[in-house]
Amino acid sequence: MTNRNVILLLMLVFIPISVIAQILYLNPLVIFITSGLAIVPLAALIAHSTEAIANVTGPTFGGLLNATFGNATEMIVSIVALHAGLVDVVKASLSGAIIANLLLALGLAIFFGGLRFREQCFQPTVARLNASSLTLAVIVLITPTAIRLTSNGLPISTLNNFSYAASILLLTFYFLMLLFSMKTHRHIYLLEDTEVDNIDESLQQRGNLWLQIGVLLICTIILVFISEILVNSLEKAISVLGLTSLFTGVILIPIFGGIVEFITCVTFAIKNKMEIAVAVAIGSSLQIALFVAPVLVLIGWVIGQPMNLSFNPFEIVAVAMAVISTNSISNDGRSNWLEGVLLLITYAAIAIAFYLHP
């Protein structure tokens, strides 16, 4: 068992700690931090179980499973927050997750991988396809904000209706992209090194399938309860910290939800498996933009808590900057440590801007 796995298992102690803190009505900041830390090992277990099940069931069902549970943490936290009426926080956490994956996760991976290897390579064809897909997502997300800023007295129902239609279009493209990558053009996505750093090869055995399904379901249920605790403490914790809900949603929450992906990206990069690191970072951002966000819009419509795709203008600008920066260094299929620094500096500048944003 690796040191990373030991640390993640030890972090499971934060699950009962956060529950006890909630029952005893401790300081909201303590509840927020402990519940946020409790989410980290749950996210790791969900990701690990999803990968293990996908290895057994094959690429078709595995791809759909990854689409559903690949960003289960962000999805569950967002649904709980959406049900609580914290629509702005949900939008901020979505845009923050995209920014963090593209700039922080990928930046760390490229930097640490570049310190060990002079230059690292990944599939440029896939990088260009991902860049185009990210550009599509940005265009769709910019459109409702542009409509709102260029129209006087625009009823909110117009933005909601556009968002419902746009969500269906994004989901359609997402599932077509799955079809493209898993079926019609699967050869483009095949890795030269087929080993995907399976820590325990026995997880691929069919005998462990039901065990992994059980772990996936139990962790998902626990995650729902922990997310409820996190969201309930969120507003009070924000006031205690003196932070804005925008900074908390865009910067803090995505770090709790995405820290496992950050570690995974760096681990693959320092093993010179940059193609997998890039796939994890950019693929996660694509899932959020093309799958999670549209699904949340439609869920909000169903539960009577309307959420549209009209984001805070500064959030959209930040997402666009992240996409432009990532696309500019990934199109050639090569990376070095300085490009990692470029992404990290961009993330730091955006984080400072959100901290100072009123």
287-299 per-position pLDDT tens digit: 899 999 999 999 9
Q: For the chain, how many residues are written?
A: 358
Mean per-residue pLDDT for 305-333?
91
pLDDT, one tens digit per residue, over 89-139 is 899 999 999 999 999 999 999 999 999 999 998 888 888 888 899 999 999
Tell me: pLDDT of 166 over 90: yes
Cα 355 from Cα 337, distance rounded (Å): 27
Residue 100 tokens, joined: 């963090």
Tell me: pLDDT of 61 over 80: no
Tell me: pLDDT of 195 over 50: no
Tell me: pLDDT of 37 over 50: yes
Cα 68 from Cα 40, distance rounded (Å): 18
Domain ranges of the chain: 3-356
Q: Record the pTM.
A: 0.83
Range in 13-27, 192-206, 265-279, 336-350 the model is least confident about? 192-206
pLDDT category, 348, cuts 50, 70, 90?
A: very high
